[in-house]
């Protein structure tokens, strides 16, 4: 695993997320009310970009068919999603968001 700096913390508003491509690996970085999280950006149902969806608390809703994942664990929590998304550790260092990919 390698820590990568992906954004300034102030560039991701609370309740929003961004997609970053790290060595051909799309990662969604979320700013939830209790901190930052990161998952694979690719929905495990049909490869939709999750960062184009809607974040409610710690639940990301896929914009394509409405499946949902818990961004803290990657668990699929709503049909049609049944397989989890990969999660990554996140740290904020001196105002910069780092992801362990």
74 belongs to the binding site for ligand FES (CB under 6 A): no
43 belongs to the binding site for ligand FES (CB under 6 A): yes
35 belongs to the binding site for ligand FES (CB under 6 A): no
45 belongs to the binding site for ligand FES (CB under 6 A): yes
Range 68-83 burial, b when 16+ CB lie within 10 A, else e: bbbbbebebeeeebee
67 belongs to the binding site for ligand FES (CB under 6 A): yes
Which H helix or E strand runs over 29? Answer: strand 25-32
Phi, psi angle pair for 60, to nearest 5°: -100, 130
CB of residue 50 vs ligand FES: minimum separation in angstroms?
7
Q: Which residue has the tokens 């989890």?
A: 84
Candidates 2-10, 28-36, 62-70, 87-95; binding stretch for ligand FES (CB under 6 A)? 62-70
Among 7, 18, 22, 48, indicate the residue that binds ligand FES (CB under 6 A).
48
Cβ partners under 8 Å of residue 86, min gap 6: 39, 40, 74
Binding site for ligand FES (CB under 6 A): 43, 45-46, 48, 62, 64-65, 67, 80-81
């Amino acid at each position: 695993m390698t820590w990568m700096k992906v954004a300034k913390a102030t560039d991701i508003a609370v309740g929003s997320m961004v997609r970053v491509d790290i060595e051909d690996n799309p990662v969604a970085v979320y700013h939830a009310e209790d901190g930052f999280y990161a998952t694979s950006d690719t929905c495990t149902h049909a490869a939709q970009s999750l960062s184009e969806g809607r974040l409610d608390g710690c639940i990301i809703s896929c914009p394509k068919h409405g499946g949902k994942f818990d961004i803290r664990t990657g668990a699929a929590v709503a049909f049609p999603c049944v397989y989890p998304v990969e999660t990554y550790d996140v740290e904020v260092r001196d105002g910069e968001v780092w992801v362990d990919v």
